[in-house]
Amino acid sequence: MSVLSPKEVADLYRKRAENYDISASLYYLIGFRFHHYRALTIDSLDLRKGDTVVELGCGTGLNFPLLQEKIGDEGKIIGVDITDKMLEKARERVRKNNWNNVEFFHGDVAQYNIPDGVDAVFSTFALTLSPDYDMVIRNCSESLKKGGRIAILDFRMPEGYIRFLAPLMILLTKPFGVRKELRHRHPWESVEMYFQRSSLSEMYWGFVYLSVGIKD
């Protein structure tokens, strides 16, 4: 099965939007610490009160509560997503929490112009789905302020004997657009290329990585 096109990704997540939060949490049943990995990603951004942060593929806004704790009312969140129904859920979350510091962009992450001077950009389990991930990461490196950070949390094909579990992992994550062919996309290499300082860490036996870049 081939990699999904951006339109197919939007269609897939439109169908999953209503129950996305619950279905994603079910991965805890196989030891996949979904929310813990997200928290680690946000911690890696080293956010401060008043910072502006862009989330590429914000989905239903699951990360917004963690971001709000970091940046406060004086900060700003910009959520970008290709799926209208996912953004509806994110807007609903914003309304329920009375947050007045969240903006949205509905569209492909490759079409979004990141504002100059933002403090941080990140993506959790989303950017690898974009065929234009390299261009997006390059744009981030140009738009971030000096000292700004990028963080990408996503799936990858592990090294060594544990690869024998890859078919099972692909099957389990297929409902969220994961395909075997995505193994050829390496966003962490783009982070290493475009950022002067970078780090790479692995989780969940190497099936998940966190790539962080800092602009000098």
Residue carrying structure tokens 């950017």: 127
CA distance 216 to 124: 23
Is residue 132 within 8 Å of 111, Cβ to Cβ?
A: no
- Domains of the chain (ranges; CATH) run 6-214 (3.40.50.150)
Q: Would you call 150 helix, strand, or coil by DSSP?
A: strand
The residues near 104 (Cβ < 8 Å, ≥ 6 apart) are: 58, 78, 79, 80, 81, 87, 90, 91
CA distance 93 to 79: 12
Which tokens hold the place of 10?
A: 């939007």
Residue 60 has what pLDDT? 97
User: What integer best gives the mean pLDDT of the chain?
Assistant: 92
pLDDT grade, residue 178 (50/70/90)? confident
pLDDT digits (tens, 9 = 90+) for 35-51: 999 999 999 999 999 99
Span 149-170, mean pLDDT? Answer: 83
Q: For the whole model, what pTM was predicted? A: 0.91
Percent of the chain with pLDDT strictly greater than 90: 70
Is residue 120 within 8 Å of 150, Cβ to Cβ?
A: yes
